[in-house]
Amino acid sequence: MEKHLGNSPMKVVLAYSGGLDTSVIITWLKETYGCSVVAFCADLGQGEDLEEIRKKAEATGASEVYVRDLREEFVSEFVFP
């Protein structure tokens, strides 16, 4: 079901964790607002299987998925600035 509602965005970038909430919201955004959803996941050293997170985002309908290794930036800018 593709519908675009007035001033609603055509594309949404979602900070994606791979959990239930962010997985469900992909489908909800697509069905409710008719927008494409870009999933973004940052590797901050959390030890998650990022390839599985990528596959899950694709399976739940994300139009694009980006997984970035931001461990160095996280440590240098937030842990030991």
Residue type, 36: S
Write down the pTM of the prediction. Answer: 0.82
pLDDT of 8 > 70? The answer is no
> In b/e form, how buried is each residue of 43-61, taking b as 16+ CB within 10 angstroms?
ebeeeeebeebbebbeebb
Q: What ranges do the domains of the chain cover? A: 11-79
pLDDT of 2 > 60? The answer is no
- pLDDT tens for 32-47 read 989 999 999 999 998 8
Per-residue pLDDT at 1: 45
Top-level class of domain 11-79: alpha beta
| Rounded mean pLDDT, 6-31 | 91
- pLDDT tens for 58-81 read 999 999 999 999 999 999 999 998
Instruction: Please state, as a whole number, how many other Cβ atoms lie within 10 Å of the Cβ of residue 20.
Output: 8
